Amino acid sequence: MNEALAISASGLVKRFGERRVVDGIDIAVPRGAVYGVLGPNGAGKTTTLRMLLGIIEPNAGERTLLGYRRPREASDRVGYLPEERGLYPAMKAREAIAFLGALRGLDWRIGRKRADVLLERAGLAHAADSKIRKLSKGMAQLVQLLGSVVHEPELLVLDEPFSGLDPVNQENLERLILAERDRGATILFSTHVMAHAERLCDRLTIIAGGRARFEGTVADARGTLPMRAHYVPHQEGPGIAALLPADAVRQADGWRFTVPEGGAEETLKRLIDAGHGISGLSIERPGLHDAFVRIVGGEEMSA
């Protein structure tokens, strides 16, 4: 626990009945970072976030939120978008945002003023006086999201914020997250969609089966997999497979294989010598998606 961390937790355990939903998770979120909690469905992401926020108490373990060992005492400086969205259907959008702010200690009048600004910026100015029940699900979700930042929290916790949004609004949300980071907030969000995490996260942790399987930057995660090569020969021939590494797979647009440990030069030299030539070649790290699948899948198989 130190000043550089917005959240730190060690050995968090949560049992529901006999099942250990969270089984000893450590987490350390630096201040000012965008931090992702990744994991498949049912991995324990939501339960972990709830414990970090003090909504539920862990069976074991310690956590510190903005320096408080009782997370609830920091509640006025935290914004939270739960996975199960919910607003009062009879409230108008502006009031709903002001209410969420008021729960966190923001004056109602200031809340209403900021709500207008936020709605305007999100392109929802026309909805300020609409009741929540009249809004589409995606719009209501945006309203709730605005309500979770209206009091300008130091820490913003978003549980699966992208689910239920169309691609345009997903873009808007990414922009909003980055804007909050630029304001100085720390952002912790969970997702099982890798593309967002890959673009946004400074650091991330991958949870599966109630345990952390990986902790580090996106580059670190991708670095757990070797480079992959995509090779298109100039001259196809029957002997080509024998010259490529054992895992090479032929696809419609060429061959794909894992770059061997010493690099790709040896293989390429053999191919050129054999007269197959090189029409196309790319060598790159696999995406976070592949890393995620390998980390989660591999662990599950070994578990």
Residue numbers at the binding site for other proteins (CB under 8 A) = 1-3, 16, 50, 53-59, 66-70, 72-78, 80, 82, 84-91, 99-100, 102-105, 144
Closest CB 37 distance from other proteins, rounded Å: 16
Amino acid at position 231, single letter? Y
- Considering beta carbons, is residue 25 or 102 the nearer one to other proteins? 102
Closest to other proteins by CB, 164 vs 280, is 164
For the chain, the distance separating the N- and C-terminal CA atoms, rounded to the nearest angstrom, is: 31
Quote the DSSP letter at residue 40. -
Residue at 211: amino acid letter: R
Do residues 93 and 119 lie in contact, with contact meaning Cβ atoms separated by under 8 Å?
Answer: yes
Residue 188 burial by Cβ neighbours in a 10 Å radius (0-12, 13-18, 19+): buried
Nearer to other proteins, 96 or 206 (CB): 96
Helix (H/G/I), strand (E/B), else coil: 209? coil
CB 4 → other proteins: shortest distance, Å? Answer: 9
CB of 160 to other proteins, least distance (A): 13
Closest distance between other proteins and the C-beta of residue 271, in Å? Answer: 58
Q: Which is nearer to other proteins, 104 or 213 (CB)?
A: 104
Helix (H, G, I), strand (E, B) or coil at 115: helix
Looking at this protein, which amino acid is placed at residue 91? M
Rounded to a whole number of angstroms, the minimum distance from the CB of residue 106 to other proteins is 10
d(CA 173, CA 241): 46
Q: Which is nearer to other proteins, 21 or 194 (CB)?
A: 21
Tell me the closest approach of the beta carbon of residue 93 to other proteins, in angstroms.
15
Quote the least distance from Cβ 7 to other proteins, whole Å.
Answer: 12
Name beta bridge partners: 80: 157
Burial class (CB in 10 A: 0-12, 13-18, 19+), 82: middle
- On whether the CB atoms of residues 6 and 16 are closer than 8 A, the answer is no
Sign of the dihedral through C-alpha 166, 169, 174, 177:
negative
- For residues 36 and 58, which CB has a smaller minimum distance to other proteins in the complex? 58
User: Closer to other proteins at the Cβ: 77 or 276?
Assistant: 77
Catalogue the E-assigned strands of 192-234.
Answer: 203-208, 211-216, 228-232
CB of 170 to other proteins, least distance (A): 22
Of 40 and 67, the one with the shorter C-beta distance to other proteins is 67
Cα torsion 107, 180, 65, 73 to 10°: value is 0
